[in-house]
Amino acid sequence: MLLQVSTGTGPGHDADVPFASPPVSIEQFLAGIGPRAFRFAEIGLRQREDALDAVQDAMMRMLAYRDRPACDWTPLFWSVLRSRIVDQQRRRMFRLRWLMPAPADDDGASLDWADEATPDPSRAHDHREAYAHLVDALRALPRRQRQAFTLRVLEELDVATTSRAMGCSEGAVKTHLFRAREALQRHLKDWQ
């Protein structure tokens, strides 16, 4: 069952009016809180698609709490949504931290992050070539390091889930990931 997340922009939609009476069902509750939740998520995530995903995920998780009293739904929903937003922000920063080059080059000059207004064919070629090197570097890793890196960084699983998927301890996941990052950084140092 998929829930519709309204952004509150349709005609005759008044999402800010509180319920005159408590919601009868969890679906009614979610329909009423959806537009406000979307605005809240969009402010936190700054991207419409990410906000829709976060609200949809929070709504799906709330379905598991349908048997709780209706008075518990509001604080529980906002807690779930806030956690989902924080998770997405952390994942984004985790990926960005890994993909970011060193903060300054050897002579101490800061990096220029500005994109040019027009697409640059040589830049696109460099991106494709860098990706090919990343794939080669991943293939060169030992199997357990490749699994840890793929699950943690590319699939964005947490350490506990990764350890269950790999059938090892959380400490082993962290060790494999650390070694994988070191090996990848050595292999890709020309592309940083």
Q: Count the neighbouring beta carbons within 10 Å of the beta carbon of residue 163.
A: 19
Interatomic CA distance for residues 108 and 177, integer angstroms:
29
- Tens-place pLDDT, residues 142-186: 988 988 887 888 777 788 888 888 889 999 999 999 999 999 888
- Tens-place pLDDT, residues 82-126: 889 888 888 877 766 665 554 555 555 554 545 555 556 666 666
**List of residues 6+ apart from 27 with CB closer than 8 A:** 3
- Tens-place pLDDT, residues 27-81: 999 999 898 889 888 877 888 898 999 999 999 999 999 999 988 888 888 888 8
- pLDDT score recorded for residue 180: 92
Interatomic CA distance for residues 53 and 101, integer angstroms:
29
